[in-house]
Every structure is written in structure tokens, then in C-alpha cells.
Amino acid sequence: MSTLTPPPRHPAGLAQKLADSGLRSTPQRELVYEVLLTKRDHPTADEVFARVKPELPGISLATVYNCLETLVQCDLVRAVNFERGPTRYCPNLRPHAHFHDEVTGQTHDVDLPETLFTKLKSELPPGFDANAVEITFRGKAKSCAN
């Protein structure tokens, strides 16, 4: 029987993006990324750790931190910080804002037109050159389709 390469359950882009930065694709990195893609609720490092552990019981929290940091470096994931509290991770790379529900504590992605981000940057006084804009809303979401 010939050796079979198991089909990759993880997005094709990952290995490539990592390689672009001279980094290797590892089971840990793949799984952490997969977990982020699967449940997009902006988990903390601890939460990612909990979700990853059943699949890869030997993994350590430090590794989860390492992997997350690596994914951020490779532009596969964004780190977001709301008020005090742990950093959260978001695999949505399209330009979008975050809506932080003050009641449930949940964070929702809100797609906004690219033009809005451009417009915002254009409002900056001369001398300021922004390469990123972050927008965070805070309030109540009475989800119609709940």
C-alpha cells in the first residue's frame, strides 16, 4: 500500500502564507487556525487553548500564544482588544468593524464599505499617515434573527 497524504482539513492558504514568511506548517498552527475559522466568536487565547486541547492533548498554552502571534504576523488573523481584558482573535480579513454587545459581552463582525475606511483616513490632518483603522461600536444588539 502506498503512503497516502491525508487530505488537509485546513485552508490551503495557511501553509503557503507561513512559507512566505519562512515558517513551517505544523499541526499546532494548523489546528489553532482551524479553530479560529470554525467558531468565529473572537475567542481569547485561553478559549482557543480549550478548544484545541481535545484534538491535541499535549499542546501547551504557550504554544497557543505562539501560534496566534505567528498567525497575526502572517496576516492571517487579527488581534483585537476591547477595554481591559484578554486579547481576542479574529480570522476575518475583510475590512470590517466590531460591535461589542454590552449586555451579552459578545463581539460581532460588522462589514462596512471599504469607501468608509478610505474616507476616514482622508479626514486625518496633514502629517498623519494611517495604514490601518480600527472601528469599535459599543451598545446593544437586539438580534432580529436570533
- Letters for 95-124 (x = contact with a second copy by CB under 8 A, - = none) are ----x--------x-x-xx--x---xx-xx
Which entry of a second copy, DNA, none binds 130, CB below 5 to 8 A by partner kind? a second copy
Burial of 42 (0-12, 13-18, 19+ CB in 10 A): buried
> Does the protein bind a second copy through residue 139 (CB under 8 A)?
yes
Rounded to the nearest whole angstrom, what is the least distance from the CB of residue 68 to a second copy in the complex?
A: 12
Residues 107/69, Cβ–Cβ less than 8 Å = no
Measured CA to CA, the distance from residue 125 to residue 61 in angstroms comes to 43
CA angle 59, 62, 65 (to 5 degrees): 105
Measured CA to CA, the distance from residue 36 to residue 123 in angstroms comes to 34
Q: Which of 14, 35, 36, 67 binds DNA (CB under 7 A)?
A: 67
Q: Which of 6, 22, 54, 125 binds a second copy (CB under 8 A)?
A: 125
Q: Report the interface residues with a second copy, using CB under 8 A.
A: 79, 81-84, 87, 99, 108, 110, 112-113, 116, 120-121, 123-144
